[in-house]
A and B are shown apart, each in its own frame.
Chain A
């Protein structure tokens, strides 16, 4: 008898739990889905819950590509309310799948209009993928992309494979934007010359930066690497803060990545989800971004930490590309790149 009532209770609990997850009633928590690179300071995390007015659960869903695909697969029963970390190379795919519902945060007034690409998503941060160089080996230099095919840079550059690496893809897009697909010197010609100049290709950022690059914490022998404009300040903050920055940024060949947040179409988070997006665009979160995720805040009013101001080069003219153009050509460009560089 006791056994039976216990199992009845369990069944009831299961039913209640199952209903609870589907009910359209007021939510009891807000779930933020993000990628594995997400980080946040503890006090900002606490402030987030206060601002939203509900407990906020943060779940990580792999790298940016895996995260977007998981969100698309679970469109009918979403994992959460807000998705953060989708960038301009994946944006079109998500929009085509109607992943997000429309939302315009009032704080968008403080965001430069060139970052605001679509009414369904809110730009949160900006990062430039740029070539870094080892200052100890090369001194201070500012070569053009074309210079890198010259003999003085033979065997010095390491890049990431665009098929497996997000910065690798960004650098490829920068070269497409710089040299174009037609004319007497196309991006394919440039990469053929780089190959002839003994460029090294690693599968991921970790292997290229720590395994093959000679500057900063790198243990390799190549003084040029594809990394981020924010890598030199990171080398100072997480290295020897008294010494001059061991690495520098080359302004040519940078590509601007914008990361967005969007409210998932199936969310019943309502105004709470909107409050979360607003919070992420507000000063406290925006000013936390540089030192936790090493990217720049989208909100122009956010103050930057002094180490950032001192050691970061904000490239004057990073390459930009329309997300639709990226979506339409990405696979073809990667295939062509593979033919030229690694076959």
Chain B
């Protein structure tokens, strides 16, 4: 095949996947719902629904801003300083991201008491869940920035702040924008957190779609809201991809091992202490509550996981095995599809590539109920996979692909064309250029993205519950939810024990990937 044909073939894979498993079910369910009535009339005629749309937008903007403010110092400290326990802190920061919302929100309810259901609690929980996105996406680039750039600026008379604003910030901008986009999508479509902590006084579009579709069976209104949600998300994504200019920072990156150093000045040590305090208060305390409760009867809760349980239809060990199998399958699928998409977007020129870029992110911004119902009415042909094993990893793949694309595109774009040209001038064949110049960058980006994809799949609960699943295919989050749905301190402790295992698995995966990354670092 020629080079051009290859590029088309690579682009076709994610396009077909998205068309079949996302666009087609979506169109089917929207068409089917709007056949029953005009939902838009209800939306625009009802002040309450308009209020929901407005709240959804501003709380997402505020949550994104707060998560950036809380996450950037953590990203800085964890990527630029070398100190004992750094790998552990990195893993801890990622854990909330995989904690099922129902577990964390129940911990918040117990910690905050009657003040739990409030706007502050919602914003706090959004920062708790999403700080990992900022730390990993921005930190992943930050640790490779050449510190000499900053030092040169300071030698030339720039203040510390000035150098950050004029040198570091512009270089980090693509990563910050990518993190902000993902956090915005996550909080814009926030479901569990808002349902539990907002107590229907604060309602997002996602919660309203769920309430209309499953509680009141008002599918036309649910469909209208879905369209509004998708349109808003689509518009925001398009603005973002315009902003994320093509020339995004062609810079010389260094291995993290060369850029990180021990904190030297008192100011740096103070910053390190401050970030550790932030992680403890914001993340370790809520997570620690869960671990502590799993240990109320010593290790009984863990020991009992091996016994058959009356409440759970499958043993917790089986649920863990299922979660790992789904996670690995979804990660493999998402890697293949996501990297093909990332290469296409990063190499592409002009409007088409921007559209494609936005389209790839759209599943993150689409209501899980809508997608679930869509898959339900469209995946019976040619083979009926509606209630098969595959439906769960396929849905997880839809959610995981955007993470791979978002982490990979900035890295691939940062490969300096001069390197490729130089290699070509020196006589390397195109394939050799790809293998020796591009591939190392791509591999690193893929590793970061794979970690995210695996974590997303492990902790995924919202979309999974709206799919039809065989009884034996319980995942850790659905098993936790099931245990939490029954009274009895043993059930509760067992749920917390499973949540702790989930956290350990996620932390372990993150630490393994980090080790892999630093070992293979150029």
Enumerate chain A interface residues (CB-CB to B < 8 A).
14-15, 17-18, 21, 31, 33-34, 36-42, 57-63, 65-66, 69-70, 72-74, 77, 79-80, 93, 161, 163-164, 200-207, 209-212, 216-217, 219-221, 227-228, 231, 234-235, 237-240, 291-292, 294, 331, 338, 342
Q: In the complex, are the beta carbons of A219 and B488 less than 8 A apart?
A: no
Q: In the complex, are the beta carbons of A235 and B487 less than 8 A apart?
A: yes
Task: Give Cα A72 to B373, complex, Å.
Answer: 11
Task: Give Cα A42 to B471, complex, Å.
Answer: 12
Q: In the complex, are the beta carbons of B215 and A164 less than 8 A apart?
A: yes
Q: In the complex, are the beta carbons of B196 and A239 less than 8 A apart?
A: no
Given the interface contacts A33-B468, A70-B373, does A238 sit within 8 Å of B488 by beta carbon? yes
B-chain residues with CB within 8 Å of residue A41 when the two chains form the complex: 310
Interface size on B, residues (CB 8 A): 58
| B484 located at the interface, meaning its Cβ lies under 8 Å from any Cβ of chain A in the complex | yes
Chain B residue, CB-CB nearest to A241: B490
| B199 located at the interface, meaning its Cβ lies under 8 Å from any Cβ of chain A in the complex | yes
A-chain residues with CB within 8 Å of residue B386 when the two chains form the complex: 74, 79
Given the interface contacts A36-B478, A36-B481, does A69 sit within 8 Å of B213 by beta carbon? yes
Task: Give Cα A207 to B114, complex, Å.
Answer: 11
Binds A, one of B161-169, B337-345, B377-385: B377-385
Task: Give Cα A61 to B468, complex, Å.
Answer: 4
If over half of A's interface residues share one DSSP class (helix, strand or loop), that class is named, otherwise mixed; here it is mixed
In-complex Cβ contact of B468 among A60, A211, A217, A342 (8 A): A60
Task: Give Cα A298 to B46, complex, Å.
Answer: 44
Can you pick out 24 interface pairs between chain A and chain B where the beta carbons lie within 8 Å of each other? A17-B383, A37-B485, A39-B313, A39-B482, A61-B468, A65-B214, A79-B376, A79-B468, A80-B387, A164-B211, A202-B199, A207-B196, A210-B484, A211-B110, A211-B116, A217-B489, A219-B110, A220-B109, A220-B113, A238-B311, A238-B486, A238-B488, A239-B488, A338-B200
| B7 located at the interface, meaning its Cβ lies under 8 Å from any Cβ of chain A in the complex | no
Q: In the complex, are the beta carbons of B381 and A342 less than 8 A apart?
A: no
| B195 located at the interface, meaning its Cβ lies under 8 Å from any Cβ of chain A in the complex | yes
B-chain residues with CB within 8 Å of residue A65 when the two chains form the complex: 214-215
B-chain residues with CB within 8 Å of residue A31 when the two chains form the complex: 387
Q: In the complex, are the beta carbons of B102 and A203 less than 8 A apart?
A: no
Chain A residue, CB-CB nearest to B484: A206
In-complex Cβ contact of B106 among A60, A73, A210 (8 A): A210
Task: Give Cα A65 to B212, complex, Å.
Answer: 11
Beyond the given A15-B382, A234-B487, A234-B488, please list 8 additional residue pairs across the A-B interface where CB-CB is below 8 A. Answer: A57-B470, A60-B471, A63-B214, A65-B214, A73-B377, A80-B387, A164-B200, A220-B110
Q: In the complex, are the beta carbons of A238 and B489 less than 8 A apart?
A: yes
Interface centre among B105, B113, B201, B471 (most CB of A within 10 A): B471
Top 8 A-B pairs, shortest CB-CB distance: A238-B488, A211-B109, A217-B489, A238-B490, A58-B471, A234-B487, A231-B487, A217-B492
A-chain residues with CB within 8 Å of residue B384 when the two chains form the complex: 17, 21
Interface residue ranges of B442-491 to A (CB < 8 Å): 465-466, 468-471, 478, 481-482, 484-491
Q: In the complex, are the beta carbons of A291 and B310 less than 8 A apart?
A: yes
B-chain residues with CB within 8 Å of residue A237 when the two chains form the complex: 488
Task: Give Cα A235 to B488, complex, Å.
Answer: 4
A-chain residues with CB within 8 Å of residue B489 when the two chains form the complex: 216-217, 235, 238-240
B-chain residues with CB within 8 Å of residue A80 when the two chains form the complex: 387
In-complex Cβ contact of A201 among B199, B310, B311, B487 (8 A): B199
A-chain residues with CB within 8 Å of residue B216 when the two chains form the complex: 331
Task: Give Cα A96 to B383, complex, Å.
Answer: 30
Task: Give Cα A130 to B459, complex, Å.
Answer: 33
Task: Give Cα A239 to B494, complex, Å.
Answer: 12
B-chain residues with CB within 8 Å of residue A227 when the two chains form the complex: 487
B-chain residues with CB within 8 Å of residue A15 when the two chains form the complex: 382
B-chain residues with CB within 8 Å of residue A207 when the two chains form the complex: 105-106, 109, 196
Task: Give Cα A201 to B213, complex, Å.
Answer: 23
| B217 located at the interface, meaning its Cβ lies under 8 Å from any Cβ of chain A in the complex | yes
Q: In the complex, are the beta carbons of A58 and B377 less than 8 A apart?
A: no
| B249 located at the interface, meaning its Cβ lies under 8 Å from any Cβ of chain A in the complex | no
Task: Give Cα A3 to B214, complex, Å.
Answer: 47
Q: In the complex, are the beta carbons of B217 and A217 less than 8 A apart?
A: no
Given the interface contacts A21-B380, A41-B310, does A203 sit within 8 Å of B488 by beta carbon? no
Q: In the complex, are the beta carbons of A69 and B485 less than 8 A apart?
A: no
Q: In the complex, are the beta carbons of A74 and B377 less than 8 A apart?
A: yes
B-chain residues with CB within 8 Å of residue A42 when the two chains form the complex: 308
Shortest distance between the CB of A53 and any CB in chain B (Å): 20
Q: In the complex, are the beta carbons of B465 and A36 less than 8 A apart?
A: yes
Q: In the complex, are the beta carbons of B387 and A73 less than 8 A apart?
A: no
Shortest distance between the CB of A231 and any CB in chain B (Å): 4
A-chain residues with CB within 8 Å of residue B377 when the two chains form the complex: 73-74
Task: Give Cα A62 to B463, complex, Å.
Answer: 10
A-chain residues with CB within 8 Å of residue B116 when the two chains form the complex: 211
